[in-house]
Amino acid sequence: MDFGTLLKPEAVKVVTSASSKKRLLHEIGDVVQGAYDVHAGLVVEALLAREALGPTGVGHGVALPHARLDGIEHVMGAFVLLDRPIDFDAVDRQPVDIAFALFAPEEAGVEHLKALALVSRTLRDPSVCTKLRANPDASTLFAILNEAKPAQAA
């Protein structure tokens, strides 16, 4: 599995208007609707339900919101770079400026876990995050993600 199978170029966005975690999740919903034709309201509802179980801010300015969605056929992602970090209830209490959202079919098992592991390992690499933060252009961000070689799991 690689980013080319998870992410469409249209699902990468630089966001300037998110001022809260909820607003960011709505932005992600809009991105997913535009890229994958999945209703934004369903996306936001699923993400909010998942966040209620526990925050998905993994630290170092990165959030990995994820949810299962009824009606999709494969795992898909959306990447958002924020121009200003926001509070996301991250484990390290640091604000978030990188969010990679993953969505899986209700019945997805190992495919969803493989995708989550790929994204997590990649965004744990400080050099990848530095490149992403330095390039606020959607097409460049897409290229960086597709060229990234994730660190192997420990």
- DSSP strand pairing (96-105 vs 12-15): unpaired
Of 14, 25, 3, 21, nearest in space to 33 by CA: 25
As a whole number of angstroms, the longest Cα–Cα distance in the chain is 37
Q: Which residues have CB under 8 Å from 53's CB, separation 6+?
A: none
Instruction: State residue 118 phi and psi, 5-degree precision.
Output: -60, -50
Instruction: Kindly report the three-state secondary structure assignment for every residue of 32-75.
Output: HHHHHCCCHHHHHHHHHHHHHHCCCEEECCEECCEEEECCCCCC
Return phi, psi of residue 137, to 5°. Answer: -130, 125
Catalytic residue set:
66
Query: Residue 85's Cα: distance from chain center in Å?
Result: 15
